[in-house]
């Protein structure tokens, strides 16, 4: 039996609360934690497969043109080399998958430096890598490929814009204005586990162990790339060492391994080199953001402008949605929000953790700080007085929204000193000390999901879905939901994920994974409860499940008896429904940072970093807190160090590894203090939960930027804020 749940109106039922088991929300440890920390969790490349050969991808060394000849003979006599494959199927589906539609590309037509053009297969990895290095490729390079989005030669395509009232007029009439332009550079998702796949072909079925976020889409993408029916493709991805958007879609190493396995009739492993993860997968677009804010004497916004330029390859549909939170976060009747997409020959731009808000919020929140300065208003107070009653352009209500509570409670916990703020007031030796605030906001998304729950007569249960756990805690929270609903010790619920033979879950993307797949688990458990109530002869709301017993009134029957040896198996099917059109649903928060800026070197150290968040029901206090912390670490990187540096002549990446692309390390990250407010969002999901994974980045770098200004008086409008820009 399948039970379907469609979210068309706010779910006020509070079914999860009615269970009163005390499991949901608890900071339980991850069941997969010990395997991961002891190195016994098997990641995609680590499966022992007999007779497996190794592939290394070869990438283009021109930025635009044509591959004229791949001289296979240049490597076929090298030790261990089995084949050189340059197959159109390899690049038919570049890496963004769920993030947007890609054109079908010709493997011989080069659109960017680093584009995959071939795979070399050898007996060992070292042999394959050596041959890949020596493979002779002849190109016909086209001169003058534009690799810089600011170049006047880049064609620009305007995306949808929000135009309301007259922003120019508001800017002229306002008591206080800012008109500033911020820039951010390209970011890399930089997952710890590189993209990796092992393909096995058994004559008519392909099995791919791979590192992926969205199996239900990835099956179709791979089948499509190979020209196979989707039911002949199986994906296995139980552990994923980070994705952050770069594994939303099937990527080149998986298709290359599959093509080679089919052709050679041998298992093939392909793991991207770290440099290829950086140069050949996906980038977050660089952005140029003009912010115009117009406020009356009291600091109330009457005009709000956020005009952005981003870039992508020709033909790609994805445009970093930078103004996404600007649409709904603050007031201002006169509005102009637009994104222009420049077409350039730089690697594919796609989704990187919190596409849109990650960079849009950091610039907006820095501009809000400039407005607070201009108006002489405390920046917390400025934000509080600009929280609109209804969505400022769509005129729909908000679902639960705790932005004001986050700002107020965060300020109190951090010890924020309200009032006039002058820079260069606190000094500690050679360091200027300053504090900064920023709001957090990220849209709430849902996605269709299915999950099967099985309750067994021995009082154990199993949850199965092709949902992935990319480090987020899916195993933990899905087990918790089932345990809460069925009255079981969470240790007795086994969660099985990451196999495309399981019912299609929501996948891990857009922060929708837990709320969406969790709702499918919830619905499957409801169906089990109905079946048990039926057997017990009572209404479902009179049924209490506890410790392997079903109770109603003064009757108490063991599952073993009620199930009569046969497990109960139910499929839950969650469909997102119409709720998205009726409410503006989002997650909110507030960041408070204290930084020290060295007066002589311009170096910035983050000394304290606090975040208070309201993101709907918390399913697990530990995993949710960790997600927020992870986001804030990204915020530190985005503020201070992270930038992909492309050579302006040919678009090749100058810093393609973790030694040169600087993500924050332990010494860069102070104690992170995270508070999650108690919140239920009836319009968020049937669980009354919203998303968690991306909120912690959205605005975080703005708080650091603002703290730098408060510390030393320098307002840097180009991220990352490196020492050279401060001095």
- Whether 694 is catalytic is yes
**Please, is 408 exposed, middle or buried when counting C-beta atoms within 10 Å of its C-beta (0-12, 13-18, 19+)?**
middle
In angstroms, the CA 711 to CA 722 distance is 15
With CB under 6 A as the contact rule, the residue among 100, 242, 355, 664 that binds ligand MOS is: 355
Near ligand MOS in 405-464, by CB under 6 A: none
Reported residue count of the chain is 727
Q: Which residue is nearest to ligand MOS (CB)?
A: 245
**CA-wise closest residue to 472 among 148, 186, 242:** 242
Site membership for ligand MOS, residue 587 (CB under 6 A): no
- Residue 571 near residue 503 (C-beta atoms within 8 A): yes
CB-nearer residue toward ligand MOS: 55 or 473? 473
With CB under 6 A as the contact rule, the residue among 28, 167, 277, 352 that binds ligand MOS is: 352
CB-nearer residue toward ligand MOS: 67 or 248? 248
Q: What tokens appear for 287 in the block?
A: 């952005």
Q: What tokens appear for 520 in the block?
A: 């499918």
Task: Tally Cβ neighbours within 10 Å of residue 173.
Answer: 14
Residue span binding ligand MOS (CB under 6 A) among the ranges 153-161, 239-247, 267-275, 533-541: 239-247
- Catalytic site residue from 448, 462, 594, 694: 694
Residues binding ligand MOS: what is the number (CB under 6 A)? Answer: 11
Query: What Rg value do the Cα atoms of the chain yield, rounded?
Result: 26
Near ligand MOS in 632-671, by CB under 6 A: none
CB-nearer residue toward ligand MOS: 244 or 502? 244
CB-nearer residue toward ligand MOS: 197 or 351? 351
- In sequence order, the 6+-apart residues with CB closer than 8 A to the CB of 502 are 452, 464, 465, 466, 496
* Least distance CB 246 / ligand MOS (angstroms): 8
Cα 68 to the center of its chain, rounded Å = 38
With CB under 6 A as the contact rule, the residue among 16, 248, 364, 525 that binds ligand MOS is: 248
What is the β-pairing status of strands 268-271 and 196-201?
antiparallel
Please state the φ and ψ torsions of residue 674, each to the nearest 5 degrees: -125, 130
Q: Per-residue x/- mask for ligand MOS, residues 177 to 216, rule CB under 6 A?
A: ------------------------------------x---
* Least distance CB 220 / ligand MOS (angstroms): 17
* Least distance CB 355 / ligand MOS (angstroms): 5
The dihedral through the CA atoms of 366, 697, 640, 285 has a sign that is negative
With CB under 6 A as the contact rule, the residue among 241, 332, 509, 686 that binds ligand MOS is: 509
With CB under 6 A as the contact rule, the residue among 312, 351, 468, 584 that binds ligand MOS is: 351
CB-nearer residue toward ligand MOS: 355 or 436? 355
* Least distance CB 312 / ligand MOS (angstroms): 15
Site membership for ligand MOS, residue 474 (CB under 6 A): no
In angstroms, the Cα distances linking 501 to 5, 233, 568 are 22, 9, 19
With CB under 6 A as the contact rule, the residue among 55, 65, 94, 243 that binds ligand MOS is: 243
Please state the φ and ψ torsions of residue 251, each to the nearest 5 degrees: -120, 175
CB-nearer residue toward ligand MOS: 313 or 593? 313
Site membership for ligand MOS, residue 510 (CB under 6 A): yes
**CA-wise closest residue to 183 among 668, 721, 717, 623:** 717
Place of tokens 């400039």: 370
In angstroms, the CA 618 to CA 697 distance is 18
CB-nearer residue toward ligand MOS: 355 or 682? 355
Instruction: Annotate 308-319 with DSSP letters as a single string.
Output: EEEEE-TT----
| Angle, alpha carbons 337-343-349 (nearest 5°) | 80
Q: Which residues bind ligand MOS (CB under 6 A)?
A: 213, 243-245, 248, 351-353, 355, 509-510
List, by residue number, the catalytic residues: 694
């Amino acid at each position: 039996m399948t039970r379907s749940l469609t979210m068309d109106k706010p779910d006020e039922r509070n079914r999860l609360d009615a269970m009163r088991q005390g499991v949901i929300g608890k900071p339980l440890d991850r069941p997969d934690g010990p395997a991961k920390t002891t190195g016994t969790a098997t990641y995609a490349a680590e499966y022992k497969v007999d007779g497996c050969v190794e592939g290394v991808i070869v990438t283009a060394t021109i930025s635009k043109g044509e591959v004229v000849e791949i001289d296979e003979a240049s490597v076929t006599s090298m030790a261990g080399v089995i084949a050189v494959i340059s197959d159109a199927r390899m690049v038919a589906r570049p890496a963004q998958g769920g993030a947007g539609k890609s054109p079908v590309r010709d493997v011989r037509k080069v659109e960017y430096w680093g584009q995959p053009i071939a795979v070399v297969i050898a007996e060992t990895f070292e042999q394959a890598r050596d041959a890949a290095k020596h493979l002779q490729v002849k190109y016909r390079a086209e001169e003058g490929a534009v690799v810089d989005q600011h170049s006047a030669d880049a064609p620009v395509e305007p995306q949808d814009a929000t135009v309301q009232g007259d922003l120019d007029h508001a800017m002229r009439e306002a008591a206080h204005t800012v008109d500033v332009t911020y820039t951010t550079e390209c970011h890399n998702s930089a997952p710890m586990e590189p993209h990796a796949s092992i393909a096995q072909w058994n004559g008519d079925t392909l099995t791919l162990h791979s590192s992926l976020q969205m199996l239900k889409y990835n099956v179709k993408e791979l089948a499509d790339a190979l020209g196979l029916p989707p039911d002949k493709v199986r994906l296995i991805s139980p552990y994923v060492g980070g994705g952050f958007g770069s594994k939303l879609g099937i990527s080149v190493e998986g298709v290359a391994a599959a093509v080679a396995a089919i052709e050679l009739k041998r298992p093939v492993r392909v793991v991207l080199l770290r440099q290829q993860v950086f140069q050949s997968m996906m980038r977050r677009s660089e952005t140029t953001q003009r912010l115009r804010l117009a406020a009356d004497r009291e600091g109330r916004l009457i005009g709000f402008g956020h005009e952005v330029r981003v870039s992508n390859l020709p033909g790609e549909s994805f445009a970093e949605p930078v103004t996404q939170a600007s649409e709904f976060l603050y007031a201002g009747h006169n509005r102009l929000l637009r994104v222009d997409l420049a077409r350039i020959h730089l690697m594919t731009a796609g989704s990187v953790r919190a596409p849109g808000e990650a960079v849009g919020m950091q610039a907006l929140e820095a501009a809000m700080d400039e407005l607070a300065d201009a108006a002489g208003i405390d920046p917390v107070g400025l934000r509080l007085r600009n929280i609109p009653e209804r969505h400022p352009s769509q005129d729909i209500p908000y679902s639960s929204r705790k932005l004001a509570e986050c700002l107020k409670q965060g300020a109190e916990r951090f010890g924020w000193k309200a009032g006039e703020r002058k820079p260069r007031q606190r000094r500690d030796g050679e360091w200027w000390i300053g504090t900064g605030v920023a709001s957090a906001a990220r849209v709430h998304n849902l996605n269709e999901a299915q999950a099967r729950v099985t309750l067994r007569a021995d009082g154990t249960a199993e949850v199965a879905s092709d949902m992935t756990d990319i480090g987020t805690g899916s195993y933990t929270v899905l087990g918790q939901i089932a345990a809460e609903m069925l009255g079981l010790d969470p240790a007795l619920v086994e969660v099985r994920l990451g196999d495309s033979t399981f019912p299609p879950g929501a996948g891990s993307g857009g922060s929708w994974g837990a709320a969406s797949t969790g709702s499918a688990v919830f619905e499957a458990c409801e169906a089990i409860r109905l079946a048990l109530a039926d057997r017990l002869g009572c209404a479902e709301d009179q049924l209490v499940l506890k410790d392997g017993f079903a109770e109603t009134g003064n009757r108490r029957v063991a599952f073993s008896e009620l199930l009569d040896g046969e497990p109960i198996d139910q499929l839950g099917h969650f469909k997102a429904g119409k709720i998205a059109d009726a409410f503006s649903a989002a997650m909110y928060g507030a960041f408070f940072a204290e930084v020290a800026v060295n007066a002589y070197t311009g170096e910035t150290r983050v000394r304290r970093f606090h975040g208070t968040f309201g993101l709907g029901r918390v399913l697990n206090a530990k995993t949710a807190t960790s997600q927020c912390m992870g986001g804030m670490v990204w915020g530190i990187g985005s503020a201070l160090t992270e930038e992909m540096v492309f050579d302006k002549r040919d678009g090749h990446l100058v810093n393609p590894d973790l030694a040169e692309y600087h993500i924050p390390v332990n010494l860069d990250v102070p104690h992170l203090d995270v508070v999650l407010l108690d919140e239920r969002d009836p319009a968020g999901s049937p669980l009354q939960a919203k998303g968690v994974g991306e909120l912690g980045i959205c605005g975080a770098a703005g708080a650091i930027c603002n703290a730098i200004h408060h510390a030393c008086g320098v307002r840097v409008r180009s991220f990352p804020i490196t020492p050279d820009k401060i001095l």
